[in-house]
Amino acid sequence: MQGHDDDIAYPSCIGFPLVHIACLAAVWTGLTWRALVLTVVLYGLRIFAIGAGYHRYFAHRAFGTSRACQFILAGLAQSSAQRGILWWAARHRRHHQYSDTANDVHSPVQRGFFYAHLSWIFVPRDDATDYAAVRDLTRYRELVWLDRHPYLPATLLGTAAWLIAGWPGLVIGFCWSTVPVWHATFSINSLAHVVGRQRYVRAGCRRSWHRHT
């Protein structure tokens, strides 16, 4: 079991507060209808891609699709700037395997709300992709390549938002949609494990990861 004193002063966490701070730049860029429409569209598309892509398809393999659609779904999910597709799937499978035990990568029961919400993402020991946990996905070279360039889709999406609607498109369309997407996703790890009914299986059950819901 790892200690509870993980150091989160790590270079990979710098972008997280910067995107939050960038949202305040709307004071200077101003609001435009085009940028606001982008905010709604980009939030909806990426929340869908996280739920259907990162979670149901790549982590749980709950449905099938073509190789081309698989790559598009992976790229769209990864445009949320939540690390690589294989990294996300591997961590989620481990979470279901050890849910709310000492080996859970983000349990509020074990390490507190704040750690489960976001701190765990930025500790060095959680930085590498556990390819052994996603061997069914590593046979797709394009997914491995995408995982090794975790923030490329987000960078391209931010650039596209800027080209479509200028600085308001980048600040309001991209940043304003990215921050709520982050916290909506992180709340599943934090709030959903301390509020409401338990609808998941704790570690100790012998069911395999792909049968958890």
* Segment 180-202 mean pLDDT: 63
Mean model confidence pLDDT for the chain: 79
Q: How many domains does the chain have?
A: 1
pLDDT score of 32 more than 60:
yes
Grade residue 59 by pLDDT with cuts at 50, 70 and 90. Answer: confident
Residue 41 lies in a domain: yes
Residue 118 lies in a domain: yes
Residue 8 lies in a domain: no
Cα four-point dihedral sign 154, 159, 164, 167: positive
pLDDT score of 9 more than 70:
no
Residue 184's pLDDT is 85
pLDDT score of 47 more than 60:
yes
More confident residue, 95 or 171: 171
pLDDT score of 6 more than 90:
no
Residue 102 lies in a domain: yes
Grade residue 110 by pLDDT with cuts at 50, 70 and 90. Answer: low
| 119: phi then psi, degrees, rounded to nearest 5 | -60, -35
- Domain of residue 126, residue span: 16-211
Residue 197's pLDDT is 54
- Cβ neighbours for 52, distance < 8 A, ≥ 6 positions apart: 73
Residue 35's pLDDT is 97
* Segment 77-100 mean pLDDT: 79
Residue 83's pLDDT is 87
* Segment 183-211 mean pLDDT: 52
Residue 10 lies in a domain: no
pLDDT score of 33 more than 50:
yes
Grade residue 119 by pLDDT with cuts at 50, 70 and 90. Answer: low
DSSP string, 174-201: IIHHHHHHHHHHHHHHTGGGTSS---SP
Residue 142 lies in a domain: yes
Lowest mean pLDDT among 104-108, 163-167, 196-200: 196-200
Residue 11 lies in a domain: no
CB crowding 105-144: b at 16 or more within 10 Å, else e: bbbbebbeeebbbbbbbbbeebeebeeebbeebbebeebb
Residue 7 lies in a domain: no
pLDDT score of 90 more than 90:
no
Share of the chain above pLDDT 70, in %: 67
Lowest mean pLDDT among 14-18, 59-63, 175-179: 14-18
pLDDT score of 206 more than 50:
no
